Amino acid sequence: MQKAKLTFWQMWNISFGFFGVQIAYSLQNANISRIFATLGADPHDLSFFWILPPLMGLLVQPLVGKYSDRTWTRLGRRIPYLFLGSIIAIAVMCMLPNAGNFGLAVGGAMIFGLISLMLLDTSINVAMQPFKMLVGDMVGENQKAQAYSIQSFLCNAGSLVGYLFPFIFAAVGIANTAPEGQVPDTVKYAFYIGAAILILCVLFTTFKVKEMPPKEYAEFHGIDTQKKAQAKAPSMFTLLKNAPKTFWTVGLVQFFCWAAFLYMWTYTNGAIADTCWGTTDVASEGYQEAGNWVGMMFAVQAIGSMLWALLIPKFKNIKTAYVVSLLLGAVGFASVYFIHDQYVLFVSFLLIGAAWAAMLAIPFTLLTNALSGDHIGTYLGLFNGTICLPQIVAAACGGLLLKAVGGSQVSMFVVAGVLLVLGAASVYLVKEKKAK
């Protein structure tokens, strides 16, 4: 079947809901360490709280892929999962920042926060994965790079909004400090507004995007429906065993990249509070100001990513774009160690944004071009393991590494830079391959 080209706005609509989902994700990433530190967590234990998000992704996303491949409803194949995940995420976003408001002891507040975090990340993963699948489902090979670039742009735009919310709310006079053990109103309101935007974006996608019915989908992807009906559905283990080599080589690059960013999300607050505000006291005004500045830095990263995403298609070779992007990110990470001025950090996080842009777009372009349309959802769900597993490993090792570098949270940025260099080196193992 001749694959009709989609217009820019058709590709935009497919991914627009990702804007709202990413706001939720960015609020989680920018504020989890701050929330748990405020509740009383030891800095050496912070990385352990980050095991839950990728663990839930590792468990949930392959299942979303597997079952959405077999789903067809009036709303489509992927959208029902998007809608369900978003509804749960909205409810939990209103719960998580209130973990310290129920009169619970420190231990009880932490348990409540952990359960809320688990539910939030599970629901975000359920809502996020369908967008990657929709591009694989509805966009031809010659437009996938553009479609994923649009998705990357919307992802970063959502990140920008989510990261800036606490900073903006503090600027307009909302309280940025709170009684000991409680999260400031700036963070609470950020989560509430983020939840409202999420539901609006999801409703937009639900009403604007019409997925292909099964027959049209099969024709679009060249799937022999009769042969498929007669064949026994392969298990996820079988699919994993028969995955194209691209799955594994890009996965290796992913391992180093996502481990690096896990350390950024975990330690940025403590690092810049120490180097730029001169405090490690989580109850101090300086620490909370640093927490808001983390959102600003992550917003700068998002801006850098949006700008760099426009340049990635200009590279003649996608692998070259991948390598250059990761090396720029490595320089950005390592430079944080030497900077003590909060404004000079803009340069570091702009460079980090280049790596983030590549991580959002290039791996999925390489992988989906190497896959046939059959089982694409399951494969994308399994591929998410290359995002989740490195974060789990990095989180489990974070406390030990922090101890090894003398308890200096900013030193973890050097570790992150080394990891991105290893990721860039691994790109040379990737061989581009088109699906047969």
| Domain boundaries of the chain, sorted by first residue | 8-429
**Mean pLDDT in residue range 103-113:** 68
Q: How many C-beta neighbours within 10 Å does residue 80 have? A: 18
Phi, psi for residue 317 in degrees, rounded to 5: -120, 125
Collapsed DSSP state (helix, strand, coil) of residue 8 = helix
What pLDDT does residue 322 have? 95
pLDDT greater at residue 117 or residue 324: 324
Share of the chain above pLDDT 70, in %: 91
pLDDT of 287 > 50? The answer is yes
Structure tokens belonging to residue 429: 């193992």
**Bridge partner list, 73:** 76
- Specify the DSSP class assigned to residue 331: H
Q: How many C-beta neighbours within 10 Å does residue 325 have? A: 31
What pLDDT does residue 425 have? 97
Radius of gyration (C-alpha) of the chain in whole angstroms: 21
Place of tokens 């900073």: 167
CB neighbour list of residue 433: distance below 8 Å, 6 or more residues apart: 244, 245, 246, 369, 370
**pLDDT tens, residue by residue, 369-408:** 777 656 777 787 788 788 888 988 998 898 899 999 998 9
**Whether the predicted model's global pTM rises above the 0.75 cut:** no
Collapsed DSSP state (helix, strand, coil) of residue 430 = coil
- The span from the CA of 143 to the CA of 17, in Å, is 19
**Mean pLDDT in residue range 184-212:** 89
420 in Cβ contact with 333 (< 8 Å): yes
Cα distance between the two ends of the chain? 14
Query: Which fold is adopted by the domain 8-429?
Result: Growth Hormone; Chain: A; (1.20.1250)
